């Protein structure tokens, strides 16, 4: 279930787990989900800059990004 949509990132909750869904594609859209915690979800909602840094952090930490079809 989508619980928020802000700054190009959708925050999704499934079975008490939060995910950030965003487009990591360059020319062609490629949407991915990555697991986030509540603090990261709050930061995504705060500002575009914070949303960007949360997404960069998930990539730098090599968290699993699952490709999704929308």
| H-state helical runs in 1-70 | 38-46, 48-60
Measured between alpha carbons, how far apart are the two ends of the chain, in Å? 14
Task: Provide the domain limits for residue 25.
Answer: 2-68
Residue-wise pLDDT for 41-65, tens only, equals 999 999 999 999 999 999 999 888 8
Q: Check whether 37 has a pLDDT greater than 80.
A: yes
Burial of 9 (C-beta count, 10 Å sphere; 0-12/13-18/19+): buried
**Helices and strands of the chain, counted as H and E runs:** 2, 5
State the CB neighbour count (10 A cutoff) for residue 70.
7
Q: Please tell me which residue, 66 or 10, carries the higher pLDDT value.
A: 10
pTM here? Answer: 0.89
- State which H helix or E strand residue 35 sits in: strand 31-36
């Amino acid at each position: 279930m989508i619980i928020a949509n802000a700054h190009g990132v959708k925050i999704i909750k499934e079975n008490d787990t939060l995910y950030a869904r965003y487009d990591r594609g360059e020319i062609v859209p490629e949407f991915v989900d990555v697991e986030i915690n509540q603090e990261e979800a709050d930061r995504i909602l705060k500002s575009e800059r914070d949303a960007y840094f949360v997404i960069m952090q998930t990539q730098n930490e090599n968290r699993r990004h699952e490709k999704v079809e929308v």
